[in-house]
Amino acid sequence: MYSPPVRDKSNWDVLWNAVRTDSLSVISTDHCAFLWDGQKTMGKDDFSKIPNGGPGLENRLHMIHEFGVRTGRITLNRMVELLATNPAKLFGLYPRKGTVAVGSDADIVIFDPDKKHTISAATHHSKSDYNLYEGTEVTGTPEIVLLRGNVLVENGELVAEPGIGQFVKRAKFGEELKPARAATV
């Protein structure tokens, strides 16, 4: 169980058109790393006991690139807007987050658009024991992930030390978040 629920295939073109035309301006996930065995199965006899949410954050970029950009439904620039710029603006974190600019946090993904990858719970980094996209073959995968200029992931391996994250207080509604530090030239 997760929200919103998966839509029937007859809705897919309508949803992609809404993303393309900005009727939907963000693609996100309600990522929850619940275990199938022991957590999701709590509701096998009572639907109301199933914890809501599903794993999806790690593969969101794979899926949107494969089924959006590679199929021609959206451009690469539109993908960046949907996954980074627009969410940062919506949550009051722009321009500190969601852009590559002087004074911004240098949160960057180095992405190989031609590298093949098969999505699997056996290889993902989530503690979840299942993957909603199990067995899906995609072309395009992150090679390096930077947070504030620090390497978090390199060649599919987590290399960051625990505790590297920081709380970022959002700007007030209607205002932009000030950069964290002054830029040096």
Give CA–CA dist 84/89, Å, rounded.
Answer: 9
In tens digits, the chain (185 residues) has pLDDT values of 676 777 888 998 999 999 999 999 999 887 888 888 888 888 889 888 888 888 888 999 999 999 999 999 999 999 999 999 999 999 999 999 999 999 999 999 999 999 999 999 999 888 899 999 999 999 999 999 999 999 999 998 889 998 999 999 988 877 777 665 544 33
pLDDT tens-digit profile of 131-184?
999 999 999 999 999 999 999 999 988 899 989 999 999 888 777 776 655 443
C-alpha distance from residue 120 to each of 39, 60, 172, 178 (Å): 19, 13, 40, 39
Backbone phi, psi, residue 130, to 5°: -145, 165
HSE-up of residue 109 (Cα within 13 Å, Cβ side): 16
Read off the pTM: 0.86
Give CA–CA dist 64/86, Å, rounded.
Answer: 15
Centre a 10 Å sphere on the Cβ of residue 68 and count the other Cβ atoms it contains: 21
